[in-house]
Amino acid sequence: MPEELAGHACITAKDLFDDSDACTREIYALEAHVAGVHAASIARAFVDLNRARDMMPPEYPDGVVKSATCYNKPVYKEGMQPGARLTKTLLDRHYKPYHDALREGMRNPDVVLGLDCHTMAAAAPAVAPDSGKRPLVCLGDAEGKACDPEWTRLLQQAFIRSFGITEEEVTINDPFKGGFITRTHGQNPKPWIQVELNRSMYLTEPWFNKEKLVVDPCRLTALNQLMFETLKIFHLSLARNKLLPEAL
């Protein structure tokens, strides 16, 4: 929780955990293998970096600054929802710098693709556009607008090989086509793909202690290694299909 919200929030530790993309820092810790990693410094319950800046409650309860979590749990004490001034402070300190960093990072000539990395609940919450059980992996390229569909297909095949799962378990643009980050930064100037991993791969027994909200670090290390293997396979596939820039 940012210091600006001290005294405002009523969200519990469990509700904050359930609403967040739990353990993404550990799973996607690939700094040693990629051109750059920009991790969020704030929980999405307080500032959602994957929403447009003007998506505000009450019209958008699940917007950039939320009134409730995706499970309809209140974020703030009654009457303590951030007003216009505090909202602007939150966006100026947390939202704008993050997107500025993404734009700056994509100017790196070594970067050929951006990945917006998330985790998703095993079953869709009420606010989600889908319903029911979800795949193990979902890749979103805004239906080809954010990235060449051939690149997305090759990334899908890389997940299938590295994770040892079926094609039906790695979907493209279903249920997620790519959120605000992917749609905004995709092909502007370089391609982006949103990656969603199903939390059933680590927030279930025997890896997860529900009472203490603790995940087995060995499981997270294993998933991190699988992500690294996925990127290696994907990079080799791009090179084999002559889809990388000449300089690389």
**What's the pLDDT at 30?**
97
Residue 30 lies in a domain: yes
Q: How many domains does the chain have?
A: 1
Mean pLDDT of 117-125: 93
CATH number at residue 151: 3.40.630.40
Alpha helices in 95-143 (DSSP H): 96-105
Alpha helices (H) in the chain, listed in sequence order? 13-19, 24-27, 84-90, 96-105, 149-163, 180-185, 217-240
Domain-embedded: residue 201: yes
Q: What is the band of 247 on the pLDDT scale with cuts at 50, 70, 90?
A: very low
245 found inside a domain: no
pLDDT for position 234: 98
Would 58 be classed as within a structural domain? yes
Assigned domain for 73 exists: yes
Is residue 247 in some structural domain? Answer: no
Please indicate, yes or no, if residue 246 is contained in any of the structural domains.
Answer: no
Q: Which residues span the domain enclosing 206? A: 3-240
**38-51 pLDDT per residue, tens:** 999 899 999 999 99
- Is the pLDDT at 77 greater than 70, yes or no? yes
Between helices 149-163 and 217-240, what is the axis angle to 10°?
Answer: 130
Q: What angle do CA 103, 106, 109 make, to 5 degrees?
A: 145
Q: What does the pLDDT average to over 151-176?
A: 98
Least confident stretch, 24-28, 57-61, 153-157, 184-188: 57-61
Q: Indicate whether 19 belongs to any domain.
A: yes
CA distances, 15 to each of 31, 37, 72, 73 (Å): 29, 27, 10, 7
